[in-house]
Amino acid sequence: MAWSARKHPISGVPYAVLRERERAMRQKSGATLATIAADVGVTEACVSKWVSDLPQHAAIIRANNRARAERRRLYPADTHRYVVKLIHNGVPVAERVSLA
């Protein structure tokens, strides 16, 4: 039995129909993988596999990665040279964060 003929065990909807619904949600609204997975009732990995070939999927992933990196940033942007000077002068981390 091909995967497209298989049906979701709870909803009974064929996986091919679910795949097209997920792709439409990602294309129209740029919905997150978690949102789509919760709405359709499949895992995020399944959603990722089904929408990974969409052109905007790569752009959304890059934007999410940049946002995640920005949230993890310890020092403000454009303070690298100043922070390096503080490190060379032996300033402790807690003090460097407050100074930068």
- Residues 51-85 pLDDT 10s: 888 877 778 788 888 887 777 777 777 787 888 88
Residue 34 confidence (pLDDT) = 86
- Report how far residue 26's alpha carbon sits from residue 72's, in angstroms, rounded to the nearest whole number: 26
Among the CATH numbers 1.10.287, 1.10.3470, 1.10.10, 2.60.40, which is that of 3-53?
1.10.10
- Report how far residue 32's alpha carbon sits from residue 20's, in angstroms, rounded to the nearest whole number: 16
pTM as predicted: 0.52
Nearest 10 degrees: Cα torsion 35, 41, 45, 49: -90
- Report how far residue 93's alpha carbon sits from residue 81's, in angstroms, rounded to the nearest whole number: 15
Torsion sign over Cα 14, 15, 20, 23: positive
